[in-house]
Structure 1
């Protein structure tokens, strides 16, 4: 593939990360996390979608998402929750915290790292120590927990195709994920200047590595954007659209370049990606335009032309149809959000 479509999407949806806390856990313990949308304004207020991840740097534990069987995690394992589901990390499967516990308020009152060390149940969550004040519990499990953020709107083809849980076992070999687990343990423990910034950049690499491993392990019958990326014909079509999104593409021209008839390409693209090629292109153009509106001082007309539209009016109608407001209004609201 001449154009790296996955990298293009990750850049355009503004992938970035935030290290947030360490957990040093002892006895019988749990850390119960709400859905990322419930805490997004607190942990990464400038992003649309917050993705949780956990790295086991010592010992082992269990993670559970509602509707999914508990998953055992061992030292060096990484778990990513792309959809930001509420979940529980605990010393044993089946543990739950007090439903009335509000650990988010306590999180704001405590410095990092947090220590969870409890011999009785339940406990309210990451920042709460419970037990006797000042008692030093023996640590049996340590984790690095963080958040990765990206744009969900106007169009992020990657998010919908990712599962609720991405598990990167430590035994899978020397990958970015395995190296990140080792570095996370080292840097978190050393507390050297720049450690947090270093881990933030490395966690983005870990996330990209997780997606690549997920692509490699997907069954042949898989559908979704990543499956389309892997397909010989649809992957080539996606590459062409991303390489030159402002071009006046037609299904006939696209079919000629990938080596399929227009009907065969349409059918194959819809079966894998979930929408026709030209509709996909229209939505991707809106994502590109949104980034330019947010990050540049270019006029709306200039952005319209760079996005493949012949006029500001045509672009404005398309943008409002997808985003719900005119480009200038959306840009102003984004500026207000950043300022806030």
Structure 2
């Protein structure tokens, strides 16, 4: 099957990245980030969800979710928080910071991004009081990835709350990403912001692929389904032609399973029935068209497999709570 389902989902949920911070730490220090729900209005307008990541350029530190998993990080490692949990990056495990980001909108408005922040013990120093030092115990590049959760994003639930990518000779790209991100953010050359954003997106895709490659054999979830020889082909077929009037019988015949066997295998791995998944994905494809094109609601309805605008509007409202036209206007306004 030639269709790249992961790329299709990443396009559908409109992944976009940005790098906002270069952090240095000395002595006993802790930086605490609030949850994604609190960060979205401050960091990335017009998105449903923000994933924060930290790439270690120099030194070592700890990262963890209070009351949840934590991990020690070394130069070249990357850690990300796919579910948007509040978390702490610190010089030792179990530490806490203040989690106050109220100063950020003023810094953003002043055009001071990417921002350099120095933690020296309990003191937090912002420009122009300090600059990141090569003599710091640790230097970190911190970035954010925005994406849509609504109407349907099958990827996020398939990822852990904390995703750790270790520096590896077999995957030197991560270390090169960290080095290049530091160089670009320091140089502040024309086009640097766009380059850092694209690099962040590439790093996330690489992280998802590495995580999927190392899933245990008996795993469940959307990524496990993608990897399965039968369910993966069914997902590819539905993503390649979402407007087609698929049936479970036809999909089973195409991949070599009975209707009941395919249904059970799909539910076991993906968590929903095949036709339910198709209906949800059609809504996500429609949402992308509504936001990225000026196509009429009627045209969007036909493109995702509905014979009438009214039937599509009812289905869309069931999923997102608003008719497609009203939802489009609301999202357009939020992105301004």
TM-score normalised according to structure 1 size: 0.92
Residue aligned with 1:95, SS: coil
Q: How far apart are the structure 1 equivalents of 2:292 and 2:91?
A: 44
Which structure 2 residues correspond to residues 1-340 of structure 1 after superposition, within 5 A?
A: 1-97=1-97, 101=98, 103-110=100-107, 111=112, 112-119=114-121, 121=122, 123=123, 128-129=124-125, 138-171=135-168, 173-339=170-336
**Range with greater deviation from structure 2 (293-302 or 47-56):** 293-302
Change (3 A) 1:315 1:135: closer
Q: How far apart are the structure 2 equivalents of 1:204 and 1:293?
A: 23
The CA deviation at 1:2 is 1.4
Describe the superposition over 1:18-75 as per-residue Cα deviations: whole angstroms up to 9, x where unpaired: 1111002112211111111111101012111100000000100000112324310000
The CA deviation at 1:309 is 0.7
Q: How far apart are the structure 2 equivalents of 1:17 and 1:203?
A: 5
**Range with greater deviation from structure 2 (314-323 or 49-58):** 314-323
The CA deviation at 1:327 is 1.3
**RMSD, aligned α-carbons:** 1.9
Q: How far apart are the structure 1 equivalents of 2:99 and 2:6?
A: 38
Q: How far apart are the structure 2 equivalents of 1:134 and 1:201?
A: 28
User: How many equivalent residue pairs?
Assistant: 328
Residue aligned with 1:104, SS: coil
The CA deviation at 1:108 is 3.4
The CA deviation at 1:96 is 1.3
Q: Which residues of structure 2 form unaligned runs of 5+?
A: none
Describe the superposition over 1:225-259 as per-residue Cα deviations: whole angstroms up to 9, x where unpaired: 00000000000000000000000101100100011
The CA deviation at 1:135 is 11
Structure 1's consecutive aligned runs of 4 or more residues displaced over 4 angstroms after TM superposition are: 133-138
Residue aligned with 2:93, SS: coil
Q: How far apart are the structure 1 equivalents of 2:221 and 2:211?
A: 13
Alpha carbons 2:58, 2:138 under 8 Å: kept = yes
Residue aligned with 2:230, SS: helix
Q: Which residues of structure 1 form unaligned runs of 5+?
A: none
Q: How far apart are the structure 2 equivalents of 1:297 and 1:136?
A: 45
Alpha carbons 1:29, 1:116 under 8 Å: kept = no
Change (3 A) 1:189 1:204: same
Q: How far apart are the structure 2 equivalents of 1:39 and 1:172?
A: 34
Alpha carbons 1:117, 1:139 under 8 Å: kept = no
Residue aligned with 2:306, SS: coil
The CA deviation at 1:172 is 5.2
The CA deviation at 1:192 is 3.0
